[in-house]
Amino acid sequence: MSAKRRGDLFSGYFKKEVIVLRKALLLLMAMVLLLGGCGVSGNDYSALMPGDEERLVIYTSHKEDVYAPIIREFERRTGIWTELKTGGTNELLEEIAAGNTNCDLMFGGGVDSLSAYADCFIKYNSPAMAQVDEKFTGDGTWTPFSSLPLVLIYNTQLVRLNPPTGWQSLLDSEWRGKIAFADPTVSGSSYTALCTMAQAVGGDAEDIIISFAENLDGRQAEGSGLVVGRVAEGSCYIGVTLEETALRAVSEGYDIALVYPEEGTSALPDGAAIVKGSKHEENARRFIDFLLSKDVQERLPDKFSRRSVLSDADSEPELELMDYDLGWASSAQTELLKSWQKYFEGVQ
């Protein structure tokens, strides 16, 4: 498929006003039947909905400007009707683990968080995985979607001298109470940041994480989407966020600057995983294949400020990457988050 053709497929995809024509037509049919008074009893239009074999239930922790165009284009290409629930990575994973959900697929969250809930998912190795860079591959429990480096940010108006240089800076008392950081019991990217910091600084991981919690001085954001805003508005001076989020904020004119930690950083992929016992497993597989398709992956840098996971992706700014221990981050998650939660319950 030519680059122009791929561009045509996505040309309307990234605009907020795009409407899934199939859904619009169904709504129009419902209105016609209602006005005509035939074929539909009361307000029950279930007969107009697609059959169960054409549905997919997705849980996602992505922001709307990421998930909406992706899901709309998937629906347009396949005719599959998606139902969606949004929330924080860990809260959605906990709901899936509780077993009282009809979720077919989890879309979003770092693969360390997905790995921590591996028992909830089945293994699926998409044929498209042959094109994925080997550093982003796992055992099939999850499928990578994009590469997400973590960065530090600071307010360029308030921090004129001695900006933070790396993960060690987050433990410096100079920044006590001035750091924007999302609650890692809710945000998967914040949990990844904790593990990245602990591994980069070295020493006892739990001690480092609690030292960092103390430096937050009892302040943590309810979600990762609030970090950039708190730094830009000046209620916090520095913060920890994803490269994607920071680059978008800079392009929108926020008074922030990025810092790539001098110790190196992690560029863990976020991913998707098929829920064990899914009613629509085949549709979930098709969604994963779609995420890894070349035309989707090629648009990650320009349209989403994300890095592709394909091995032949166009060159992007190189990073100093640390050797992130995914196995440890996944196995230690429960205990580390318990310690974090216990600390904050004690200071409130």
Regions of the chain where pLDDT drops below 70:
1-49, 314-317, 347-348
Phi, psi of 201 (to 5 degrees): -75, -40
For residues 159 and 132, the answer to whether their CB atoms sit within 8 Å is: no
What pLDDT, on the 0 to 100 scale, is given for residue 227?
Answer: 96
Residue whose C-alpha is closest to residue 93's, from 56, 126, 142, 45: 142
Q: pLDDT, tens digit, for every residue of 132-154?
A: 999 899 899 999 999 999 999 99
The distance from CA 84 to its chain's CA centroid, rounded to whole angstroms, is 15
What pLDDT, on the 0 to 100 scale, is given for residue 314?
Answer: 64
What pLDDT, on the 0 to 100 scale, is given for residue 49?
Answer: 62
Strand intervals (E) in 172-237: 179-180
Residue matched to tokens 């697609």: 50
What pLDDT, on the 0 to 100 scale, is given for residue 15?
Answer: 41
Which residues, listed in sequence order, are joined to residue 239 by a DSSP beta bridge?
153, 180
The two structure tokens encoding residue 182: 């999302």
What pLDDT, on the 0 to 100 scale, is given for residue 53?
Answer: 85
